[in-house]
Every structure is written in C-alpha cells, then in structure tokens.
Structure 1
Amino acid sequence: MAYFSDVRPLERAGGSVERPLRDVFRLPAIGASVAEARRRVLARLTEWDIGAVVRDDAQLVVSELFTNAVRHTDSERVDCELRVTGVRLRLAVTDQGSGPARHAGGAAGLCPEGGGAEGENGRGLLLVSALAEAWGVRPGAGGRGHTVWAELGFGTSAP
C-alpha cells in the first residue's frame, strides 16, 4: 500500500487556502478498501481543518466513487487524490480496469453496466452530482481505466 502526502498547515486568507494541499493514496481494489478510503479522507480533511459538512460530503463522494471502481472494473488497485486549492476540494478516484463502465449522456456521467441514473447502479452518481459543484470522468493513462473526479466548495464556516 503506497501513501504519498504533501501536508502543510491550513493557511486561510478570506476562507481560502493560500497554498495547495495535496494527498494521494492507493488501496487494493477490494470491498474493504471503501471504508479505508473514507477513513483516510476524514483524517486528512480533519488535519487540514476542513469543515464538518464538507468532510461528510467528501466521505460520501469518495465512498461512491471507490465502490464503482471496485465493483465495475477489473482493477487490482484504486488511487485517490485529494487536493485543496482556494475554496475548492477536488477528489479524484482512478481505477486501472476496463470493466463495463461507459459514458452516459449528460454532464460526463459514468454509468456502470448501463444502469442509468434511475437504476440501482446509478444512484451513487446521482448523489455525487447532488453534492458536487462539478464532476466528471476522463480516460485513464494509456487508454485503460477511468478517473472520476468531483469538486466540493467550502467557505469560512466553522467546522
């Protein structure tokens, strides 16, 4: 299990971070990794003094994206990147698999197994869409896998 970190104390200027904060970790593509990803996101965002509402939303988003990567691809590992710049938290989950995931219509939605937003397999992405200010998907390096990202905004409210 690899773990990379570029952690600095959170410095706020008018509710924004002066320097980007970044953390990257890699976990095996197994069901137990979903809970571990949530724990790591909570720990890092708490350390960075990100408010409770954003921490909760980020855990839900990472949970949904990790679950999709584990369930719908043939990946051996899943990578996660957290980056805070200004007043935005960007979460990116990258699988290495070539499972049945495909792009759906709309705002770059990833629709596993063609489940559609209303089907059982699409509910998590509806949640991501509701929580995130923006989100999307891009092909992985070398045309294999996917990176699904979401951006959450935060302000000056207390944690």
Structure 2
Amino acid sequence: MGAHSARHLRRVLRLYLVRSGLAGVADAAELALTELVANVVRHVPGRRCRVCFLLQPGGVRVEVADGCPELPVAAGADPLGEGGRGLVIVAAVADRWGVTPYADGRGKTVWFECVGEAAP
C-alpha cells in the first residue's frame, strides 16, 4: 500500500458517498481514511490491509483491517514532529472511532463513523 493507493481509496470513498447522498460527510471521511491508511504504511509490516465502506442510516462506517497485533494509540504529538497526529485527526473529524482486536490476537480493525444528513 502506498500513496497512490490512498489517493485511489479516497476517490472511491467520495464517489460512494456522493452517489449515496452523503456528500456532506465526504471531506471528513476522506481525511480520516487517509490517516488510517498512512498508519498502515508507517506501522504495519508488509503494508497490507483490507478496507471496507459500510453505509449506515445517515452516514458511513469505514474499517481498515490489518494483520498486525500492535494496537494504535492516540498520543500527544510533538508540535514540531512529522508524525503522531493521525488518530488525533481521526478523532477530530469522525463522530466515532475505535479499534477492535481480532479474537485470535493476530491483527485488528481500526474503524470510524461519520454521520450527516442524507440528501433527499
């Protein structure tokens, strides 16, 4: 997974949301997705993940699953550092987010939800 993959996923997500009448949450969802994909690129050996977009009443849930058992932590970033803000950004733009470890301990799903009013 690399920068081109994140760009492609953002485009697919925006198209999915616009066609579903949820263009109002597209900016926030794209930003949060970008941060989760960046975390995979930076922290997951092999950079492999699965991404799922799930429509919900009035919003979307986005899941990024990987095979790395290490759980992400939203930490205070160094104000002059180049990283450490990803989950802080996700928390700021999403209505809800979380991490669900696999029962077998071999990975996790990091997810977020963006809720807005659907267009008629």
**Which of the two has greater strand per residue?**
1
Shift of the 68–76 alpha-carbon distance from structure 1 to 2, 3 Å rule, reads closer
Shift of the 141–66 alpha-carbon distance from structure 1 to 2, 3 Å rule, reads farther
Which protein has greater RCO, CA pairs closer than 8 Å, 6+ apart?
2
Equivalents in 1 of 2:103, 2:5: separation in Å? 22
Match of 1:78 among 28, 49, 52: 49
Q: Root-mean-square deviation (CA), in Å? A: 2.2
Where 2:109 maps in the other structure, the secondary structure is strand
The unaligned stretches of length 5 or more in structure 1 are: 1-28, 103-109
Contact 2:77–2:84 under 8 Å retained in 1: yes
**Shift of residue 77, structure 1, vs aligned partner:** 2.3
Deviation sequence 1:14-71 (CA, Å, 0-9, x none): xxxxxxxxxxxxxxx33321111111111211221212x3111111011000110121
**Shift of residue 133, structure 1, vs aligned partner:** 1.3
**Shift of residue 76, structure 1, vs aligned partner:** 4.9
- Consecutive aligned runs of 4 or more in structure 1 exceeding 4 Å deviation: none
Shift of the 96–30 alpha-carbon distance from structure 1 to 2, 3 Å rule, reads farther
Give yes or no for the alignment of 1:127 onto 2:89.
yes
The unaligned stretches of length 5 or more in structure 2 are: none
Equivalents in 2 of 1:149, 1:129: separation in Å? 11
- Greater gyration radius: 1
Contact 1:111–1:122 under 8 Å retained in 2: no
Give yes or no for the alignment of 1:56 onto 2:27.
yes
* Identity in percent: 32
TM-score, normalised relative to structure 1: 0.64
Match of 1:95 among 45, 48, 66: 66
